[in-house]
């Protein structure tokens, strides 16, 4: 009995040490990750269309998180208009016969419509005020002091142009990058393999970076922006994404493709590892500038949806172009 209690205590201390080093609740993170994997694979096995709808749903949730996050800094984005524009962009990209033309037109129209809506600064109901109050109640006071917008001297007032600029940035961040997740589903007749490459490889890269950083991480990659990131973690991200890319290629393509394009997973590994890490750093910079710790609280152990998809979104255009250019 005493030995069992000692073992449980040592296990708890080990988990706490890992949580502290990674900056996450690892048991929660693993459980949430497993649920997400099952959900995405189920959608892919049932129907590619269902996977597209799932992407739209996640982007809608991500836009709401950004709406709340920017609102804590006094910045307004027209979330209802962004929802409509994002859904129209993603669905048009997938269902239109001319996918690239549809994506380009929708993004350009979205920029104009969102800019007009942001300049009007129309807000419906008090839900956003309640969400902002809840967000601030979970935010570290130290993070608020480091923010460019919120500090001990009070809120910073913004011009109308600032709201427009942030809203247009959101269009480029969410609908445009998310369209690059949809585009590979439309060419070369390998939609499931492409979906796995687009979604799971950045997630696998993040996992590799997390474990390599926790185990070997000594040399900080960017201590000011993200103290948890290390060069060892970046190496782990590249290695894991490379191994995963080889596995996807082995399970999907024939030997002729293996012989002629064996180098594609190597390139994909480097691209995903570097772009995914850069995506995480960009998101960390955005959070630090706003003065928040997490984008949201929807995914236990991961923070918000944006905390989970930031690396996926930034990897999307690079992987999309690689798959198209190599005919994979």
Query: How many angstroms separate the CA atoms of 285 and 221, rounded?
Result: 14
Q: Which pLDDT score, from 0 to 100, does residue 146 have? A: 56
The pLDDT assigned to 309 comes to 86
List, in sequence order, every residue forming a beta bridge with 155; answer none if it has no partner: 150
pLDDT digit string (tens) for 154-191?
A: 555 677 888 899 999 999 999 999 999 999 999 888 89
Let me know: does 192 contact 48? Beta carbons within 8 Å: yes
Q: pTM of the full predicted structure?
A: 0.83
d(CA 23, CA 13): 15
pLDDT of 7 higher than 80: no
The pLDDT of residue 101 is above 70: yes
Q: Which two tokens stand for residue 173?
A: 């961040």
User: What percentage of the chain carries pLDDT values higher than 70?
Assistant: 77
Residues forming a β-bridge with 303: 299
Q: What is the predicted pLDDT for the residue at 209? A: 84
Check residue 150 and give its pLDDT: 52
Task: List 154's β-bridge partners, or say none.
Answer: 151
pLDDT of residue 256: 81
- Cβ atoms of residues 181 and 48 within 8 Å: no
* pLDDT digit string, tens, across residues 103-146: 999 999 999 999 999 988 655 555 565 556 555 555 555 555 55
Instruction: State the Cα–Cα distance between residues 169 and 118, nearest whole angstrom.
Output: 12
Q: Is the pLDDT of residue 5 over 60?
A: no
Measured CA to CA, the distance from residue 164 to residue 170 in angstroms comes to: 10
Residue pLDDT, tens place only, 34-84: 888 899 999 999 999 999 999 999 999 999 888 888 888 888 899 999 999
Q: Quick one: pLDDT band at residue 321, thresholds 50, 70, 90?
A: very high
94 against 33, higher pLDDT = 94
pLDDT average, residue stretch 212-225: 76
Tell me how far CA of residue 32 lies from CA of 298, 300, 310, in angstroms.
Answer: 10, 6, 17
Q: What is the mean pLDDT of residues 239-264?
A: 88
CA distance linking residue 58 with residue 174, whole number of Å: 10
Query: Tell me, what's the pLDDT at 168?
Result: 94
pLDDT at 278 over 60: yes
Cα→Cα distances 26→237, 287, 300, Å: 17, 21, 10
Mean pLDDT of the chain: 81
């Amino acid at each position: 009995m005493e030995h069992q209690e000692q073992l449980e205590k040592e296990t708890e201390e080990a988990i706490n040490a890992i949580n502290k080093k990674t900056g996450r609740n690892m048991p929660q993170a693993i459980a949430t990750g497993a649920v997400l994997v099952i959900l995405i694979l189920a959608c892919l096995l049932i129907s590619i269309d269902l996977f597209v709808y799932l992407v739209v749903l996640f982007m809608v949730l991500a836009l709401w998180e950004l709406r709340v996050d920017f609102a804590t800094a006094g910045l307004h984005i027209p979330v209802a208009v962004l929802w409509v524009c994002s859904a129209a962009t993603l669905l048009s990209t997938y269902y239109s016969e001319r996918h690239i033309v549809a994506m380009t037109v929708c993004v350009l129209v979205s920029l104009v419509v969102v800019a007009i809506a942001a300049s009007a600064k129309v807000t419906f109901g008090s839900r956003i005020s309640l969400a902002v109050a809840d967000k601030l109640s979970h935010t570290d006071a130290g993070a608020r002091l480091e923010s460019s917008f919120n500090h001990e001297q009070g809120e910073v007032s913004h011009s109308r142009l600032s709201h427009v600029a942030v809203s247009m940035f959101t269009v480029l961040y969410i609908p445009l990058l998310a369209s690059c997740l949809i585009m590979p589903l439309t060419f070369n007749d390998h939609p499931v393999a492409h979906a796995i490459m687009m979604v799971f490889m950045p997630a696998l890269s993040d996992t590799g970076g997390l474990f390599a950083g926790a185990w070997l991480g000594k040399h900080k990659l960017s201590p000011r922006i993200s103290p948890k990131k290390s060069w060892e973690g970046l190496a782990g991200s590249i290695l894991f994404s490379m191994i995963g890319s080889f596995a996807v290629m082995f399970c999907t393509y024939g030997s002729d493709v293996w012989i002629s394009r064996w180098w594609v997973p190597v390139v994909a590994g480097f691209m995903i590892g570097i772009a995914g890490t850069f995506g995480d750093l960009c998101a960390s910079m955005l959070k630090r500038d706003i003065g928040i710790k997490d984008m949201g609280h929807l995914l236990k152990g991961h923070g918000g949806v944006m905390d989970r998809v930031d690396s996926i979104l930034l990897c999307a255009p690079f992987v999309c172009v690689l798959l198209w250019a190599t005919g994979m």
